[in-house]
């Protein structure tokens, strides 16, 4: 817990909210956005933690975000929810749409939520974890800016295009995974740039389409998909289901709309929620137990379940707080000063 500034999670939350309000974000947005950042830091996900204060503040300063947007909830169909975020950050739009999504999933067995006209800067796992904690199976998808080259190419077409999944586990933390379809999160490359560290040569290309280990050149060129053509196909799927399917932007549309301002991605998000009881009725406990047997067989041979590292980091942070690198803390303290 050395080589930085130690903070309790409550102190971190207060700091994040105050800095967001200081740069003009409305209090309800600031509370929702800060919670996502605190969750990332709490769970040991530094690239999605309090570092994102710098990202959010930049998007506000560049005029990419509507800081006092009022999300509008509507129901296009019985099992569908739509929230027009009005150009604000996605967190408050999700909060406003989540209760109705949960109600519809329980009523119909499956339901979907489309977030439109929102700004994204964060991971998706807090959203699917929140739904899984309510006993629902959840999937989430969102494009970003066109930063990622398709397999076999070297020019950006896709966003980092994360996919997240949550599965409820009675009496235990949900099974959750969240990964970019790019080889790595863009924030991870940015953290390497800030630290002056090289990146692996399979993370991306420079502006001339050549492999490079310089983080700054990857950020100015194109990132790669993970798993070659498989990640590329998944990235294309995300573009489709969280872009045209819900009437929102592709990653290419998003970066064009940014117009060189360097803000966070603009566009939409699709969230699908399934109530296991909708399929299984009274047999739900029996079949969830079969899922637990699968988890036990994974862990029984020493393999790690996705999200277990985050939950271990969460337990430590809840007890001990977190430590922010001094340089990052200094940058944060200059926000709104």
CA dist 148 and 198 (Å) reads 19
Query: Which position among 95, 134, 188, 239 bears the catalytic label?
Result: 188
Determine whether 48 is an active site residue.
yes
Element (H, E) at 262: none
CA dist 183 and 204 (Å) reads 8
Where residue 99 falls (left for φ over 0; alpha for ψ -120 to 50; beta otherwise) is: alpha
Is residue 307 exposed (0-12), middle (13-18) or buried (19+ Cβ within 10 Å)? buried
Beta strands at 163-169 and 172-179: parallel, antiparallel or unpaired: antiparallel
Q: Which two tokens stand for residue 304?
A: 């790690």
Query: Which position among 47, 133, 214, 292 bears the catalytic label?
Result: 47
Q: Which two tokens stand for residue 319?
A: 């007890």
Closest of 311, 190, 203 to residue 262, by C-alpha: 190
Is residue 137 exposed (0-12), middle (13-18) or buried (19+ Cβ within 10 Å)? buried
Determine whether 41 is an active site residue.
no
Query: Which position among 29, 41, 48, 254 bears the catalytic label?
Result: 48
| Angle formed at CA 180 by CA 25 and CA 331, multiple of 5 degrees | 40
| CA-derived radius of gyration, the chain | 20
Length of the chain: 337
Determine whether 269 is an active site residue.
no
Q: Which positions are annotated as active-site residues?
A: 47-48, 188
């Amino acid at each position: 817990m050395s080589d930085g500034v130690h903070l309790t999670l409550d102190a971190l939350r207060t700091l994040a909210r105050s800095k967001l309000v200081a740069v003009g974000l409305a209090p309800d947005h600031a509370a929702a956005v800060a919670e996502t950042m605190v969750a990332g830091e709490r769970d040991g996900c530094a690239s999605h933690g309090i570092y994102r204060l710098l990202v959010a503040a930049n998007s506000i300063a560049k005029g990419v975000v509507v800081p006092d947007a009022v999300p509008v909830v509507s129901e296009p169909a019985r099992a569908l929810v739509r929230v027009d975020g009005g150009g604000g950050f996605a967190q408050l739009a999700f909060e406003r749409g989540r209760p109705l999504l949960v109600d519809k999933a329980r009523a119909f067995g499956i339901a979907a939520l489309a977030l439109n006209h929102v700004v994204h800067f964060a991971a998706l796992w807090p959203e699917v974890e929140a739904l899984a904690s309510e006993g629902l199976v959840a999937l989430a998808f969102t494009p970003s800016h066109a930063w990622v080259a398709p397999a076999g190419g070297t020019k950006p077409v896709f966003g980092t295009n994360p996919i997240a999944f949550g599965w409820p586990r009675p009496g235990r933390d949900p099974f959750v995974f969240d990964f970019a379809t790019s080889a790595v999160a863009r924030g991870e490359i940015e953290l390497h740039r800030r630290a002056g560290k090289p990146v692996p040569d399979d993370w991306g290309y420079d502006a001339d389409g050549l492999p490079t280990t310089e983080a700054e050149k990857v950020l100015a060129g194109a990132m790669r998909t993970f798993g070659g053509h498989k990640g590329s196909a998944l990235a294309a799927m995300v573009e489709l289901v969280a872009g045209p399917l819900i009437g929102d932007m592709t990653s290419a549309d998003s970066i064009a709309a940014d117009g060189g301002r360097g803000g966070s991605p603009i566009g939409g998000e699709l969230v699908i929620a399934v109530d296991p009881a909708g399929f299984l009725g009274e047999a739900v406990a029996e079949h969830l137990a079969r899922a637990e047997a699968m988890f036990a067989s994974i862990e029984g041979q020493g393999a790690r379940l996705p999200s277990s590292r985050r939950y271990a980091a969460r337990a430590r942070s809840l007890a001990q707080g977190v430590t922010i690198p001094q340089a990052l803390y200094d940058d944060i303290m200059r926000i709104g000063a």
